[in-house]
Amino acid sequence: MPILEIDSLIVDYRTSRGTIHAVEDVSFSLEKGETMGLAGESGSGKSTLGLSMMRLVPYPGVIAKGHIKIGGTEIIKLPEHEMRTIRGKKVAYIFQDPMTSLNPVKKIGEHFVELIRTHAPNTGKEQAFERAKDILKNLGILPERINDYPHQFSGGMRQRIMIGLAIALNPVLVIADEPTTALDVIVQAKILDLLESLRKIYGMALILISHDLSIILERCDKLVVMYAGHMVEYASSTELHERPKHPYTQGLLQSIPNVELSDQRLSAIPGSPPNMLDLPKGCRFWPRCSYAMKACKVKEPPLISVGRDHFVRCFLYGEEGTNVERNRKS
């Protein structure tokens, strides 16, 4: 049984100026121990999707339709007190900015004690402290520093502590929302290595949200590319790397710097993401797409299968676009 199943999920932001479908028609599933990447530009709905898995979409966001199953349990209609037993225990979330993710007036140890005792109220303080020290050791932080305040740690260390808090209760799924965006490149690699090694030790599934496709391709088993709330492509990392189908994915891959081809100019995707309140008719990507056809401007393309576990939302691969693809390759 998959650990996470999402089926035709729609998440709305009901603003005074109209309803935005921040996540629309997203479906995928995740097995135990798998790593999945969520890629896309800012505003593409990756974080909203991540937060909806914990039912923590901020106001005025609502999960409008669809199903989210965690370990077989449907969480959309779950009462709040049962939802609380899932948050932190079964699903953990790592936020983007480690500088503000820890309570500044609480010592590091108290963060662990608080978390452990929220889900196991009978645990003694001493016991929780011992557990915290063990985790700190795994994170490469001296256990003596358990009585230090968050501001006494560097950004990288704080993010390691956040990871420690996330894995403390042995969750089945960890969602890391751009865990390295606020950190420099060297620390970035270390944090991701740590996350990966801990994932292997604890056997949890991981969802890595990032705008950096290179990170995701390197570290994830499969990945979802999001554009303006839509899942535009879904495939395994190797498949996606070798045979990217959607023009947006192709654009993203071409914009990754390549060390061996240093004299080549980096290509960029022209234009900018659409205004979510005023989406283009038809495919949401057509104004920026160099393969845009007539059909793209009229109808929203459906998600179609283009190979084993490879889905794409583009007319180029449907009946309308068969010829176009052939022409493009030549």
Partner 1 sequence: MSKAENKRRILGPLIPGLTSLAKKGPSGWMVIIGTIIVLALVIMTTIGPWTTPHDPIKYHGPIRTPPSPQFPMGTNHLGQDMLSRILCGGSIMLQVSALSVIVCFLVGVPLGLFSSYVGGIFDRIVSLVIDAIYAFPGLVIAIAVAAMLGTGVVNMALSIAVVYIPSYFRIVRSQVLTIKELTYIEAARATGARWHTILFRYIFPNVIPSIAVVASINFADAVLTAAGLTFIGLGVTVDVPDWGLDLTSGRALIASGAWWVIAFPGLMIILLALGFTLVGDGLSELLNPKLQR
Burial class from Cβ neighbours inside 10 Å (0-12, 13-18, 19+) for residue 202 reads middle
Residue 89 vs 190, nearer CB to partner 1: 89
CB atoms within 10 A of CB 195: 24
Residue 207 vs 232, nearer CB to partner 1: 207
Residue 108 vs 224, nearer CB to partner 1: 108
For residues 13 to 52, the per-residue mask of contacts with partner 1, x marking binding by CB under 8 A and - elsewhere, is ----------------------------------------
The type of residue at 66 is G
Report the residue from 30, 49, 70, 102 that binds partner 1 according to the rule CB under 8 A.
Answer: 102
Residue 97 vs 212, nearer CB to partner 1: 97
Question: Please, what is the minimum distance in Å from the beta carbon of residue 86 to partner 1?
Answer: 7
Using H for helix, E for strand and C for coil, what is the string for the chain? CCCEEEEEEEEEEEECCEEEEEEEEEEEEECCCCEEEEECCCCCCHHHHHHHCCCCCCCCEEEEEEEEEECCEECCCCCHHHHHHHECCCEEEECCCCCCCCCCCCCHHHHHHHHHHHHCCCCCHHHHHHHHHHHHHHHCCCHHHHHCCHHHCCHHHHHHHHHHHHHCCCCCEEEEECCCCCCCHHHHHHHHHHHHHHHHHHCCEEEEEECCHHHHHHHCCEEEEEECCEEEEEEEHHHHHHCCCCHHHHHHHHCCCCCCCCCCCCCCCCCCCCCCCCCCCCCCCHHHCCCCCCHHHCCCCCCEECCCCCEECCHHHCCCCHHHHHHHHC
Q: Does 151 bind partner 1 (CB under 8 A)?
A: yes
Residue 95 vs 286, nearer CB to partner 1: 95
Question: Please, what is the minimum distance in Å from the beta carbon of residue 267 to partner 1?
Answer: 35
Question: Please, what is the minimum distance in Å from the beta carbon of residue 287 to partner 1?
Answer: 34
For residues 259 to 278, the per-residue mask of contacts with partner 1, x marking binding by CB under 8 A and - elsewhere, is --------------------
Give the range of 95-103, 138-146, 190-198, 217-225 binding partner 1 by CB under 8 A.
Answer: 95-103
d(CA 141, CA 135): 9
Report the residue from 149, 155, 280, 300 that binds partner 1 according to the rule CB under 8 A.
Answer: 149
Give the range of 7-15, 23-31, 94-102, 189-197 binding partner 1 by CB under 8 A.
Answer: 94-102
Report the residue from 8, 100, 170, 323 that binds partner 1 according to the rule CB under 8 A.
Answer: 100
Contact set for partner 1, span 64-93 (CB under 8 A): 84-89, 92-93
Question: Please, what is the minimum distance in Å from the beta carbon of residue 98 to partner 1?
Answer: 9
d(CA 210, CA 177): 7
Q: Does 56 bind partner 1 (CB under 8 A)?
A: yes
Report the residue from 49, 165, 232, 314 that binds partner 1 according to the rule CB under 8 A.
Answer: 165
Residue 3 vs 232, nearer CB to partner 1: 3
Asked if residues 231 and 304 have their Cβ atoms less than 8 Å apart, the reply is no
Contact set for partner 1, span 103-122 (CB under 8 A): 103-106, 114-115, 118-119
Q: Does 297 bind partner 1 (CB under 8 A)?
A: no
* Residues forming the site for partner 1 (CB under 8 A): 54, 56, 58, 84-89, 92-93, 95-97, 100-106, 114-115, 118-119, 149, 151, 162, 165
